[in-house]
Amino acid sequence: MTIQIKNLPIRRKLQEILPSFLGVFILVIIWHLLSLQPNTSLPSPIQVVKDTWELIIDPFFYKGNNNKGLFWLILASLKRVSMGYFLAAFVGIPIGFVISLVPFMKKAFEPVIQLLRPVAPLAWLPLAQAIFLKPNPSAIFVIFITAIWPIILNTALGVQQIPQDYINVGRMIKLPLWKKFYKILLPATIPYIFTGLRIALGLSWLAVVAAEMLLSDDGLGFFIVNAYNNSDMSEIILAIIYLGGVGIILDKLMSLLSSRWEKRTKG
């Protein structure tokens, strides 16, 4: 009985992990079967590992501007994402509060948001290049304009969901505006803000690849374009795997930050 109790956490961990491993295994099997087709240039999983082994085992090499390991390419992409993403959060969160609290501003901003929000990241690239004339600021702008909409909309939704009783209590005890914001509005809106930030982070990671493909000489997007020009399908697949892995890590970090904040506020 004691042995079963001790092993219970291990069994639970295995039950959580095994479905994920099974899903990845099935994906690899399908990939391998597709690579066996006679009229395809898709390399098998084993072939990809063989072709890109040096990149996998040595991600930190640096031999020049366009000859560097995947670590430096990922780092360059993350720098662009962080700049565009934090700028979007810095601008988007206040706008979300304003359009929810001031009816005039809501009427003013709503048609602008509805007009610009559906525009794809790639459509912003020519305009960004015309405005900034340099690749790096243009890429950051594309990330910013892609990430800002879910931040604005989720922040605004959070403010709208605040119970009217909370607002009435603030009026009754005559809280100053800044205290009303920090004591009532912000705590009640935080879960919605984190939802918007989490969505925006994923969109930022998508946008940076598109921007780097056309505007940059660095980053994972540039690496994919360079591999495509060299007809190196194995490097493209490796870059896709790294893109997905980094995206998962970013999402998990944001989820962890959100859950810790919620525990802190509840505690």
CB crowding 93-107: b at 16 or more within 10 Å, else e: bebbbbbbeeeeeee
* Mean pLDDT, rounded, of the chain: 86
Residue 232 has pLDDT above 90, yes or no: yes
At 11, list the tokens: 């069994």
pLDDT band at 179 (very low <50, low <70, confident <90, very high): low
Identity at 206, one-letter amino acid code: L
pLDDT of residue 2: 45
What confidence tens digit (pLDDT) does each residue in 56-97 have?
A: 999 998 887 778 889 999 999 999 999 999 999 999 999 998
Query: What are residue 250's phi and psi, to 5 degrees?
Result: -60, -45
pLDDT band at 170 (very low <50, low <70, confident <90, very high): low
Please determine, looking at this structure, whether the domain spanning 75-266 carries the CATH number 1.10.3720.10.
yes
Identity at 25, one-letter amino acid code: F
pLDDT of residue 14: 74
How far is the C-alpha of 214 from the C-alpha of 121, rounded, in Å? 12
pLDDT band at 168 (very low <50, low <70, confident <90, very high): low
Domain coordinates in residue numbering, the chain: 75-266
pTM reported for the whole predicted model: 0.85
pLDDT band at 201 (very low <50, low <70, confident <90, very high): very high
How far is the C-alpha of 74 from the C-alpha of 23, rounded, in Å? 26
Residue 167 has pLDDT above 90, yes or no: no
